[in-house]
C-alpha cells in the first residue's frame, strides 16, 4: 500500500509537475488479480482499486492499519466501473453490475472480490475511511439511487449526478460517495468550483477515451494548478483545494468525501471570475 502524507497550500504552490503528480495523482488502480491501495493522510482515506480476473481477490489487512482485519475500525464504499462481479462479505454474496455500489460496514471480517468473467472483468473502485460505528453492509443499484441533472450544454457541463452513500441514501459514519456522468459534448465538471474545508475529496475518472485526458484543477481558488489525468486514475483533493476538471472529451467520475460532516450540499463556492 502506498502512503501519502498531507501537504498544505504553502508547500503545494512551490510544486513542479512531477511533485504535484507524486502527491495528488493515483496513477494505477487496476492491475489483474491485485489490490492497488493508496493511504492518504487527509482524513486517513484509502483510495483503491481491484480488478479480479482469473482469481478472486481477498482483502487482507496491512501493517499501516495495526488491525486484525482491514475493516476492524474502518468502513468502505465500492463502485464497479467494469463488467459484472461479486463481492462476498462474511459469507454473503452481492452481485454488482456496472455502476452498482456496495457499502461495507465496520466489523466486516472477510471480503473477497471476484469477476463473473475473466475476459470482461469487474473493476471495483473503492474508498475506505475510519469508522466508529457499524452500519449495515448494503448494495445500491445505479437505477435505485437519487439522481439529478446538473449544468447545461451552453456551458459545456451537462451532466447527471448519482448519490449512493450519503445522508439520505446508504448510511455511513463519514463516507459520502457517488458519481457524475457527463453528456457527449460536455467536458466541464464542478465549475463554478468549490472547497469544503471540512472534508477531503477524491475524484476517480473513468469512461474516458484512452486517447483523451482531463485537466484536473486543484489548489486554493486564487492559486490554481492542473494535473493531466488519464482514464482510471484518481486525484486526491485536500480539504483546502478546489476539485474541478475539463476534459478533451466527455467522461464520468466517481467522487467521494470523508471528514467532519455528511452534508453533500455543504460547499463554499468560488465565482468563476475570482479564480486565479
Ligand X SMILES: O=C[C@H](O)[C@@H](O)CC(=O)C(=O)O
Backbone angles phi, psi at 26, to 5 degrees: -105, 105
CA geometry: angle 175, 179, 182, nearest 5 deg? 160
Map residues 172-191 to x or -, x wherever contact with ligand X holds by CB under 6 A: --------x--------xx-
CB contact at 8 A, 275 and 238: no
Beta carbon nearer to Zn ion, 43 or 201: 201
Which residue number, 196 or 232, has a Cβ lying nearer to Zn ion?
196
In the list ligand X, Zn ion, none, the entry touching 142 (Cβ below 5 to 8 angstroms by class) is: none
Residue 142 touches ligand X, criterion: CB under 6 A: no
Strand pairing class (2-4; 35-40): parallel
Residue 201 beta carbon to ligand X: minimum distance, rounded to whole angstroms: 6
Q: Which of Zn ion, ligand X, none does 186 bind, CB closer than 5 to 8 A by kind? A: none
Cβ distance to Zn ion smaller for residue 75 or 201 = 201
Question: For residues 254 and 234, what is the distance between their CA atoms, to the nearest angstrom?
Answer: 9
CA distance 87 to 96: 8
Class of residue 196 by CB neighbours under 10 A (exposed 0-12, middle 13-18, buried 19+): buried
Asked if 232 and 151 count as a contact pair (C-beta separation under 8 A), the reply is no
Q: Which is nearer to ligand X, 124 or 255 (CB)?
A: 255
Residues that bind Zn ion (CB under 5 A): 201
Tell me 22's DSSP state: H
Q: Which does 189 bind (CB under 5 to 8 A by kind): ligand X, Zn ion, none?
A: ligand X
Binding of residue 201 to ligand X (CB under 6 A): yes
> Does 216 sit near ligand X (CB under 6 A)?
no
The gap from C-alpha 38 to its chain's centroid, in whole angstroms, comes to 12
Q: Which does 6 bind (CB under 5 to 8 A by kind): ligand X, Zn ion, none?
A: none
CB of 96 to Zn ion, least distance (A): 25
Q: Which of positions 153-172 make contact with ligand X (CB under 6 A)? A: 159, 161
Of 25 and 193, which CB lies nearer to ligand X in the complex structure? 193
Q: Which of 6, 173, 249, 267 binds ligand X (CB under 6 A)?
A: 267
Which residues make beta-bridge pairs with 188?
246
Helix (H) or strand (E) holding 24: helix 17-24
Whose cell is 448494503? That residue is 138
Radius of gyration from C-alpha coordinates of the chain: 18
Q: Pick what 100 binds: ligand X, Zn ion, none; C-beta below 5 to 8 Å, kind-dependent.
A: none
* Cα torsion 137, 141, 146, 148: sign: positive
161 contact, one of ligand X, Zn ion, none, CB 5-8 Å limit per kind: ligand X
Q: Which is nearer to Zn ion, 81 or 257 (CB)?
A: 257
Min. distance of Cβ 146 from ligand X in angstroms? 12
Cite the annotated binding site for Zn(2+) by residue number: 194, 196, 201, 243
Angle at the Cα of 160 (from 188 to 193), degrees rounded to 5? 40
Q: Binding residues for ligand X, per CB under 6 A?
A: 150, 159, 161, 180, 189-190, 201, 243, 255, 267
Amino acid at each position: 500500500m502506498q502512503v501519502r502524507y498531507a501537504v498544505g497550500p504553502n508547500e503545494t504552490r512551490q510544486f513542479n509537475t512531477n511533485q504535484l503528480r507524486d502527491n495528488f495523482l493515483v496513477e494505477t488502480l487496476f492491475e489483474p488479480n491485485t489490490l492497488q491501495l493508496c493511504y492518504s493522510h487527509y482524513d486517513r482515506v484509502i483510495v483503491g482499486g481491484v480488478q479480479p480476473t482469473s482469481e478472486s481477490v481477498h482483502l487482507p489487512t496491512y501493517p499501516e492499519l495495526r488491525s486484525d482485519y482491514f475493516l476492524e475500525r474502518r468502513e468502505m464504499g465500492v463502485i464497479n466501473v467494469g463488467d459484472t462481479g461479486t463481492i462476498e462479505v462474511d459469507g454473503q454474496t452481492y452481485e454488482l453490475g456496472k455502476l452498482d455500489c456496495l457499502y461495507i460496514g465496520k466489523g466486516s471480517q472477510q471480503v473477497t472480490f471476484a469477476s463473473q468473467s475473466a475476459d470482461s472483468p469487474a473493476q471495483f473502485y473503492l474508498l475506505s475511511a475510519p469508522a466508529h460505528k457499524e452500519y449495515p453492509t448494503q448494495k445500491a443499484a445505479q437505477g435505485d439511487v437519487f439522481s439529478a441533472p446538473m449544468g447545461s450544454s451552453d456551458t459545456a457541463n451537462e451532466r447527471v449526478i448519482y448519490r449512493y452513500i450519503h445522508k439520505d441514501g446508504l448510511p455511513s459514519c463519514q463516507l459520502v460517495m457517488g458519481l457524475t456522468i457527463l453528456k457527449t459534448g460536455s467536458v466541464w465538471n464542478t465549475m463554478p468550483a468549490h472547497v469544503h474545508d471540512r472534508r477531503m475529496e477524491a475524484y476517480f475518472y473513468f469512461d474516458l477515451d484512452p486517447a483523451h485526458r482531463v485537466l484536473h484543477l486543484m489548489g486554493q481558488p486564487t492559486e490554481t494548478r492542473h494535473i493531466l489525468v488519464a482514464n482510471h486514475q484518481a486525484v486526491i483533493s485536500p480539504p483546502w483545494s478546489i476539485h474541478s476538471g475539463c476534459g478533451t472529451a466527455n467522461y464520468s467520475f466517481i467522487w467521494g468525501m470523508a471528514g467532519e460532516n455528511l452534508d453533500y450540499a455543504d460547499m463554499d463556492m468560488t465565482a468563476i471570475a475570482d479564480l486565479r
